[in-house]
Every structure is written in structure tokens, then in C-alpha cells.
Structure 1
């Protein structure tokens, strides 16, 4: 589901300043379109993950940067592998 900024703030429970900081840090990367900035459900899940890393694991900002970067790399590699399998006619994961 595509959400505008206000809907995303309500859904995620973030404060405006926190959202702006997380976008600046590139922890969240909303879609930029001609009609504005939009968020997806995956962004809400990412907010939950970041909060979990902060509260339950006690990760600091530098740690969260590293964790998110590694997770993004992992997901990128999984997509690349799925495309490669598809191109080779193999089973999809």
C-alpha cells in the first residue's frame, strides 16, 4: 500500500523530526515522484526493525547503519540470484 507522509507517520508512529533524520541518514528512502514523497509497507517494517535494533539489541546509530547496509546488500543479492535463476530457467526461490 502506497502512503503519503502523513499516513506513514500515523502508521509507523514516527515523529516528523525522527522521520526527517532517518531519511537524511538513508535509513528510510521514500519514493520520490512528481506528485510527492511516498512510502510503502516495507518502510513501516523497516521502522519496526530499527526500533527493535535500538530498544532490544541496544544498537547505536553506527551499528544500525552497518546492519541496514548489510541487510540491503543481502536482499539485493537475493534478487540478483532470483533473476539469474529465472534467466537460466532454474527453480525460483
Structure 2
């Protein structure tokens, strides 16, 4: 089952976007921010203890092709950002 989470950043909030993901049965906090030098969004995943698990560019997957975020970190779950729909897709 795939869970969709809308990516709706708010530029007046700090951070502009934050949500929780459930990956491999554990809860992770996802925080996105705009990097002015890179001219793109970045995403950071932290565990419930505040440990950084992964940080990287928010790369959008086109319809019909998946580009996983945090590749190799999770054994059963995947997280992608679908640029065309503006949603994160979290599986399972």
C-alpha cells in the first residue's frame, strides 16, 4: 500500500515543510528546506532520537519511473517524491 503525503511548503514557516514518515515500521521526521545556492529543495530524515538518517536533494520522479530518496537506507520501505503530482509516496 502506498501512502501519499502532499508536499506543500510554506515559505513563512520555519522549517517551510515538515512531516512524519513511517519507513520500515519506524517513524521518521522529514524536514524540507530551500537551498538558495543549489536552487532546489533538500530533504532531511531524522529518527525519533533526533539522529540524522539521510539528507539529500529532493529529486522528483516522473510518472512511470521511480527515483528513491534515501536509497539503501531502508530494507522494505521506499520513499519517492513525485514531482508531477507534488506528493511524497511512501511504500509500504
TM-score (norm 1): 0.21
Structure richer in helix, relative to its length? 1
- Kindly indicate which of the two structures has a greater share of residues assigned to strand: 2
The structure with more radius of gyration: 1
Which has the higher relative contact order, 1 or 2, with Cα contacts under 8 A spaced 6 or more apart?
Answer: 2
